[in-house]
Structures are given as C-alpha cells and as structure tokens.
Chain A
Amino acid sequence: MAGEVGSICELPLHCLSTCTIDNTNRFLIEGIMTLAIGILSFGLMPPGACQTQHWFRGKNGWFTPHEEYILVNRVLRDDPSKGDMNNRQAVGLPLLWKAACDWEQWPLYIIGLTAYVPPNPPQNYLSYILRQLGFSVFEANLLAIPSQFLYAIQLLAVTWLSEKFKERSMISSLSNIWIFPWLVALVVLPADANPWVRYALLTGLLSYPYCHAILVSWNAKNSNSVRTRAVSAAFYNMFVQSGNIIATNIYRDDDQPLYRRGNRILLGICVYNVFLFYAVKAFYIWRNRVRDGQWKAMTKEEQEDYVFNTKDEGMKRLDFRFSH
C-alpha cells in the first residue's frame, strides 16, 4: 500500500523533479510510510490467538478466554500438526534441511516455477502498447484498471471455487487454460491490426484467475508440520521469484515489437503448465495409494502402535494423506 500511495505521489513529485526537487524525495516518502506501517505492525499483530493482550491492542485483548479456547481447538482439530512447535521456536539448520528433504512437496515448487510465467511478460507489454498508442504513463495506469479489476474478481472466484469443491490442482489449472486462447490470438494477430484489439486481448489475458492463494494454502496443508509449513512457504516463494526471472528473459529486443517468438514460447509454457497441474494431481493420488497399501498391510494393533510411537514426522506419516 505504501508503494501505491507512493506512486500517487510520484506524479506530482515527478512534475517537481523537473523544476526543483529530485526523485530521492519520492523514495523518502515511500520509505517513511513503509517504516510507519512496519512499526505499527509490531503493535497490531499479535503473536497468536492467545496472546492478543497488549497495551497497544487493549489490556483485555481481542478475545475472552472462552473464545480463545474455541479458536485454538478448531484450528488444532482441523490440523493437529499445528501444535508441534511453539511459535517462538526457531527452525535451525538441521530442521531446515529436514524440511527441504520432504521430497513429496517438490512437485508444488515445480508448479511455482512456471505457473505464473505466461502472464508476466504481457503484463509489462500492456503499458508498452498503451504508450505506443500515445498515452502517458499515468493514462496507461488508468487503462490497466479493467484488467486489474477482473483479475481481483477472478482471484476471489477461483479460490472460492477451489474451497467449494475441495479441489486444488484442476481448478488451479484454469489459470493457464484461461490464458491459452488469448495467447493464441496474440500470436496470430496480424501486425497491422488495430492496437485497440491488441489492448483488448491483453486485458483479457491479464484478467486470468490467479491461483496463487490456492497453491500457497495447498503447500501449507500438505506440509503437515510447522517447520515444513514455514520453510515450504519460503521455498515455494523462491521458486515463484525464479519464475519471474525466467519470465523477464522471454521477450527479447530482436523479437520487437510484436514478440511473436516470445508469445509462442509462452504458449508452450502455458500448455506445459496445464499438463503439469494434472501430473501433480496424479502424483499425489499415487502417493496416497502407496500409503493406503502400507497402512492396510498393518494389523489393527500395529496401526495403533504406529499412531503413538512412530518416528515418521510431518508428511512422512503413513496416517497422513495428501490433498490435491
């Protein structure tokens, strides 16, 4: 948000910069606002549901002891693994290594690497094409509103759909299925086509249903331990960032101004993504089946003994099943 308010200020400060003040002031304003929000968050964010009492949040906290009891119970009953570590306990190097070795989480990281590559270059291309049409940076921002708006709606809709059907992979694949026809249109659109048609196609593409929220929750769900949950969210994010690096290298100067080759590459990645989502679903179905087999091979007594005494941790537990 600080960035946004900062970019509102950008315009007038830019006007000023040509006269008296330079750009450092813009960064100063953004920096001060970010700092203020950061300091406020120290007071506003409680360490957990049972620690809401604080001089800044009110001496009585947000919840009564009874409400806290309910809050903690519902979360722990849904996922008992959330109680396996204290929230002030650090994940050290050995635990970090252990979390990295949870190989059944890796397919989700592989999704993170490429799932958001196809819409990334067109996002940057949108402001380029708008400036080509003779709009200023500021007007280009305004013309990005329709896609921003639809994108937010679709993000909420696709996430709602996933919750409703308790399905993650196939619904997440809708993101790339949506992108596909718009990319095809961009590849075949003749060079002399009306720029507004290109703008409409880009707006349609960028309104894609963003599946990031589903993927992040999926990661958290399949971690089945606080340490892997903490680390897998970070790993997943690192893979998404690496994907962004890939994405910025797809449109090349020698491909200007229509980036047909770039769009064909994106099309390839887009198709690969759709198949990848289904492959990952199959992977988790297979892993669950393997576990079912191992679990059923045990006698009732062995199963009970396993539940209480096993050394298997987190997602490696045989009584845990993956979501997909």
Chain B
Amino acid sequence: MKTKAHYFAIRCILGLLMGGFIPDIVLWLTYFYKSTELPHRLAWFWTALSTCNIVGSLLAAGILQMRGLHGWGGWQYL
C-alpha cells in the first residue's frame, strides 16, 4: 500500500467482504430461534463488543501494573 488510492481501494474491498456478515448471521440465527426468542439472542450478540472493550481495557490496565517485575516492561507482559 503506497498511495491514498491504494488505501481507498483496499478499504472498499474490505467493506465489500465484511458487508454480508451481520445480515447473514441474523438470517442464520432465525433458523434456530423463534421470532419471540430472537431479540434477546441478538442483544447478547451485540453486548459482546462492549464486553470485549471493558475486559480488554481492564486487562491491559492490570497487566501494565506489572511494569518492572523481573526487569520486564509492562508492555512485554501484555
């Protein structure tokens, strides 16, 4: 990747490939759940993202506290 045009081209392909993911997951889940059961399954699906952000940030914060232990930097433990 060298130029702005390259970047936009690659970003475009990425979007094209990723675009179908959510709609297809939703359709796939409808094969398994009744219409009254679907909403809260989907809700759990979307909490995954915030859960990851929370757990990730906390883990990183904790592990960075190990800075200096046995002469390693915090980021090395991370």
A145 x B31 contact (CB < 8 A): no
Q: Which residues of A contact B52 (CB under 8 A)?
A: 1, 3-4
Given contacts A87-B31, A234-B23, contact A15 B75 (CB under 8 A): yes
Number of A-B residue pairs with CB-CB distance less than 8 Å in the complex they form:
126
CB within 8 Å of A: which residues of B? 19-20, 22-24, 26-28, 30-36, 38-40, 42-54, 56-61, 64, 73, 75-76, 78
A163 x B35 contact (CB < 8 A): no
B78 x A8 contact (CB < 8 A): yes
- Assembly CA distance A152 to B45 (angstroms): 10
Partner of A148, one of B53, B76, B78: B53
B50 x A233 contact (CB < 8 A): no
- Assembly CA distance A163 to B59 (angstroms): 34
Given contacts A156-B44, A163-B39, contact A48 B31 (CB under 8 A): yes
A229 x B42 contact (CB < 8 A): no
Q: Which residues of B contact A1 (CB under 8 A)?
A: 48, 52
B60 x A163 contact (CB < 8 A): no
Q: Which residues of A contact B59 (CB under 8 A)?
A: 8
A49-B32, A87-B31, A220-B30 provided; 11 other pairs, C-beta below 8 A? A11-B78, A138-B60, A141-B57, A144-B53, A149-B54, A152-B47, A155-B50, A159-B42, A159-B43, A217-B35, A237-B22
B65 to chain A, nearest CB (A): 12
Does A151 count as interface, using CB distance less than 8 angstroms? yes
A233 x B27 contact (CB < 8 A): yes
B26 x A233 contact (CB < 8 A): yes
24 A-B pairs with CB atoms under 8 Å apart are A1-B48, A3-B52, A4-B56, A15-B75, A49-B31, A49-B32, A141-B53, A141-B60, A142-B61, A144-B53, A145-B53, A145-B54, A149-B50, A152-B54, A156-B44, A159-B39, A159-B40, A212-B46, A213-B39, A213-B40, A217-B35, A221-B38, A229-B27, A229-B30
Q: Which residues of A contact B34 (CB under 8 A)?
A: 74-75, 78-79
B14 to chain A, nearest CB (A): 11
B47 x A156 contact (CB < 8 A): yes
Does A5 count as interface, using CB distance less than 8 angstroms? yes
Q: Which residues of A contact B58 (CB under 8 A)?
A: 142, 145
- Assembly CA distance A78 to B36 (angstroms): 9
Does A244 count as interface, using CB distance less than 8 angstroms? no
Partner of B26, one of A210, A220, A323: A220
B58 to chain A, nearest CB (A): 7
Q: Which residues of B contact A92 (CB under 8 A)?
A: none
B54 x A148 contact (CB < 8 A): yes
Does A12 count as interface, using CB distance less than 8 angstroms? yes
A217 x B31 contact (CB < 8 A): no
Given contacts A75-B34, A221-B35, contact A213 B43 (CB under 8 A): yes
Partner of B75, one of A11, A144, A221, A237: A11
- Assembly CA distance A166 to B38 (angstroms): 12
